[in-house]
Structure 1
Amino acid sequence: MTDEPLNVTVIIGSTRAGRVCDTVGAWFAERARLRDDLAVEVLDLASYAFPASYPEQATPPMRQFAAGVSAADAFVVVTPEYNRSFPASLKQAIDYAYDEWQAKPVGIVAYGSGSCGHYAVEQLRTVFTALHAVTMRDWVGVDLLGAGMDEGCRRPCDTDDRLRAIAAMLDQLAWWGRALREGRRNQPYVS
């Protein structure tokens, strides 16, 4: 294995006006950047002009997104829970790549009201399994209405439990990321 930092892309999975996803994602990315074994990049779906319907030919933003997925060694998806699942904008973006997800690890940071995003996490596990990606067992959950949020209920505070959850997930992501990166370098993945 090499000491080369793992390229981790944090995907901000909501495009809604007034969203909290960007602040939750920035909070998480700041903590992930404290590790010297990770090179963290943030990819915000709201910055892409994706088409409203799936076209016959991929558009430049679709190709740009797929290239960003291809360049990463590992991912952390930041998602809200909407109606016991994750946003349609995130599913649409995930579907713009296929081979680019294969044999790569995915961590999840989810938030919601009451469930901490649990249902979104379980739905995403199914989707990423179908794409031959490996989801991390541990994930980071944030209850927007619970304790541990700033006064505006927009940004998580650093509680001991959250920091432990981040550390556990990133430790798993780093292990899987290095192992799978080495595996892809030694032998192409067979789907």
Structure 2
Amino acid sequence: MPEKILVLYGSYRSDRMGIRLADFLVSQLAQRGADVELIDAKAVALPMLDRMYKEFAPGTAPPAMEALATKIKAADAFIFVTGEYNWGMQPGLKNLTDHFLEEWFWRPAAIASYSAGRFAGARSGVAWHGTLSEMGMVVISSTLSVGQIGQALDPAGAPTGSGGEALQKAFPRFADDLAWWSEAAKAQRATKPPPY
């Protein structure tokens, strides 16, 4: 059975560039045989956090939240595609993530960061690492960081120039690392229930 991977992306900007990285990841993972789906926070359109999914009585959560909870619970692994806003994380992706908690538990997460500048969103990746760990995910050590994203990926998510070449070179290790942890976590969940 192919591994189920959710690629989560959270920019709400009209001229968003990070969608190129999200599309690249979906395409590359699909080519490796993964069952991969893009979760676009802007398209899901959850409200600003008021009540978490678990705070609704069963069957009463808003339909978009219920559908996303089902997908999260069924996933084997997650990739968070994050831009950097003022040295921090994007509020759209953080808001979507915070609607859930136990649904994320005991699966690996990977971070792919980007920016228009040369730091490649690395500071947002650092911020996400602690957040995802706190939310019950194992964050893999491999990361992808794409600087000058408008030059590294074209509008269709195809690599271009030296930045795109570096991304293509780094992707296999990143994907292999995530697959290793995904397989390990799935095997462990099958033999021993999580401790909480």
TM over 0.5: yes
**TM-aligned CA distance change 1:187 to 1:86, over 3 Å:** same
Q: Please report how far the alpha carbon of residue 13 of structure 1 lies from its aligned counterpart in structure 2 after TM superposition.
A: 2.0
Structure-2 separation of matches of 1:26 and 1:60:
25
Please report the TM-score for the alignment, with normalisation by the length of structure 1: 0.87
In the alignment, structure 1 segments of 5+ residues that lack a partner are none
Does 2:185 align with 1:189? no
Which residue of 145, 164, 170 maps to 1:165? 170
- Provide, for residues 20-47 of structure 1, a one-character-per-residue CA deviation record: whole Å limited to 9, x for no partner: 12222112211121213x2211111111
2:89 aligned counterpart, secondary structure: coil
2:87 corresponds to: 84
Whether the 8 Å contact between 2:49 and 2:95 is mirrored in structure 1 is no
Which residue of 59, 63, 77 maps to 1:60? 63
Letter aligned with residue 40 of structure 1: V
1:116 aligned counterpart, secondary structure: coil
- Counting aligned pairs with the same residue, the percent is 27
2:43 corresponds to: 47
Aligned residues: 185
Does 2:69 align with 1:69? no
Structure-2 separation of matches of 1:48 and 1:20:
18
Please report the TM-score for the alignment, with normalisation by the length of structure 2: 0.85
In the alignment, structure 2 segments of 5+ residues that lack a partner are none
Q: Please report how far the alpha carbon of residue 149 of structure 1 lies from its aligned counterpart in structure 2 after TM superposition.
A: 4.5
**TM-aligned CA distance change 1:47 to 1:147, over 3 Å:** closer
RMSD of aligned alpha carbons: 2.1
1:19-58 alignment, distance < 5 Å: 19-36=16-33, 38-55=34-51, 57=56, 58=61
1:139 aligned counterpart, secondary structure: strand
Runs of 4+ in 1 over 6 A off after TM superposition: none
